[in-house]
């Protein structure tokens, strides 16, 4: 992508890493057949011709698959990191070098504002709501130019809904997080596997027979609980929602209040989207050697400030992504990834096969928005049902699975109350 005069240019750590990034992206793309197919389709139909797209996403090899597909469709893409710790510098370099996107991402460096907005986007892609927030709070002059966008995570959707309720959201945003396919693949399977992967990479601990406390039995929590149980852990779930808690009980997990579960926990993982789930009040009861990890979007689920205040000594990086907090009574607590999304910081996030489904949904939604949806009000919208079905069909096809079709008689039977038994 050649920069026009006055247009922002890439800000990345090391352009020399582009070859390593290209190899990493190629490996990821092998596992992303649906996005490869969409990139080919977009390359022919060019649905994003003339569109400028600002994206605030984890800058990883899988995200590169989405960027490549959008670019193939004619979009000018400006990509900012949604989390400095998940940025893969080599991928950022490869994307910038290939011209697929202008990239603002350096591992470990907080993005300086969301410079992707300087591109004056007409479409936005957000992950956590920060881009949309910044746009409304700091760049209101750009709002009228934005046709819409999509939000990929539960925390971001919650923030958008609050904005919409207050009449503050200036354009339509599609909640791509809420599709059944995304929840199934990404939040549950992908997050489940990769969160446990993050804990294991950071600590190299054995999970068999260990007590793992999972806070939150939503889409992510259930995947984490299943993955931990699959490795032999004894899993306790904590919840605030009685229906979710009941679901966890039926799945065979112990469900206890956090105050009761925490003293038993050898590994404690938060996945709630809320704050202070492991708060200051729990620090006196946690076991010596307890491993604390967060899977929620923001680093607010474990009260890391309280932990730092209680500690008499903090040893950074006793292993990569593991900090040890020594308390006055001699107990040591191990905080992974500084309390940030452990699967993205200490592991590599959801695998390509998972992100293929999530990003295919976003690519199709963006194509739908780019085609122009004049009746769509400012506010939070569900993914149109046709798109959800298309994602499922394309993914089934890529997995070599096929389904039956209803016969005419079956359709008539299912659609008529007169048909009897």
Q: Which residues bind ligand NAI (CB under 6 A)?
A: 153-155, 187, 191, 215-221, 238-241, 244, 271-274, 277, 295-297, 341, 343, 349
CB of 417 to ligand NAI, least distance (A): 35
- Cβ nearer to ligand NAI, comparing 172 with 273: 273
Distance CA 262, CA 257 (A): 9
Q: Which residues does 173 contact at the CB level (< 8 Å), separation at least 6?
A: 126, 132, 148, 149, 150, 151, 160, 379, 380, 381
Beta-carbon-side half-sphere exposure of residue 7 (alpha carbons within 13 Å): 18
Give SS3 for 125. Answer: strand
Distance CA 194, CA 227 (A): 9
- Cβ nearer to ligand NAI, comparing 93 with 175: 175
- Cβ nearer to ligand NAI, comparing 187 with 203: 187
CB of 119 to ligand NAI, least distance (A): 25
Task: Specify whether the CB–CB gap between 354 and 185 falls below 8 A.
Answer: yes
CB of 262 to ligand NAI, least distance (A): 11
Q: What ranges in 4-153 are assigned the alpha helix state H?
A: 18-30, 33-45, 61-72, 89-98, 130-138
Distance CA 273, CA 218 (A): 10
Strand ranges, E, within 120-243: 123-126, 148-151, 172-175, 211-215, 234-238
- Cβ nearer to ligand NAI, comparing 89 with 126: 126
- Cβ nearer to ligand NAI, comparing 339 with 349: 349
- Cβ nearer to ligand NAI, comparing 47 with 352: 352
Look-up of token digits 């899988």: 62
């Amino acid at each position: 992508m050649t920069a026009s005069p006055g247009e922002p240019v890439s800000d990345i750590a090391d352009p020399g890493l582009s070859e390593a990034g290209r190899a990493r992206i190629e490996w990821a793309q092998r596992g992303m057949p649906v996005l490869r197919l969409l990139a080919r389709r977009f390359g022919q139909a060019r649905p994003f011709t003339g569109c400028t797209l600002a994206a605030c996403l984890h800058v990883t090899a899988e995200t590169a698959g989405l960027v490549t597909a959008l670019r193939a469709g004619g979009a000018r893409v400006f990509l900012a990191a949604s989390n400095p710790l998940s940025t893969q510098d080599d991928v950022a370099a490869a994307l910038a070098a290939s011209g697929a996107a202008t990239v603002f991402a350096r591992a470990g460096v907080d993005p300086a504002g969301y410079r992707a907005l300087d591109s004056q986007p007409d479409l936005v892609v957000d992950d956590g709501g920060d881009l949309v927030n910044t746009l409304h709070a700091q760049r209101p002059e750009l709002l009228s130019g934005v046709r819409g966008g999509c939000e990929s995570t539960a925390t971001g959707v919650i923030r958008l809904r609050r904005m919409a309720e207050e009449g503050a959201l200036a354009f339509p945003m599609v909640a791509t997080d809420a599709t059944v396919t995304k929840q199934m693949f990404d939040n549950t399977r992908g997050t489940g596997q990769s969160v446990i992967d993050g804990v294991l990479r950071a600590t190299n601990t054995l999970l068999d027979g260990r007590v793992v406390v999972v806070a939150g039995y939503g889409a992510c929590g259930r995947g984490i609980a299943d993955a931990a149980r699959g490795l032999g852990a004894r899993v306790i779930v904590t919840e605030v929602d009685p229906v979710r808690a009941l679901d966890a009980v039926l799945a065979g997990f112990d469900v206890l209040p956090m105050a009761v579960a925490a003293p038993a926990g050898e590994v404690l993982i938060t996945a709630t989207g809320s704050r202070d789930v492991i708060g200051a009040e729990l620090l006196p009861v946690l076991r010596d050697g307890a491993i604390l990890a967060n899977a929620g979007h923001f680093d607010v689920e474990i009260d890391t400030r309280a932990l730092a205040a209680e500690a008499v000594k903090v040893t950074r990086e006793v292993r990569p992504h593991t900090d040890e907090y020594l308390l006055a009574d001699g107990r040591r607590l191990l905080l992974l990834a500084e309390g940030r999304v452990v699967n993205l910081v200490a592991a590599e996030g959801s695998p390509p096969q998972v992100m293929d489904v999530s990003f295919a949904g976003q690519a199709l939604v963006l194509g739908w928005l780019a085609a122009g949806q004049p009746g769509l009000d400012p506010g939070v919208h569900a993914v149109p049902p046709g798109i959800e079905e298309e994602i499922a069909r394309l993914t089934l096809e890529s997995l070599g699975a096929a389904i039956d079709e209803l016969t005419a008689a079956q359709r008539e039977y299912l659609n008529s109350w007169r048909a009897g038994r």
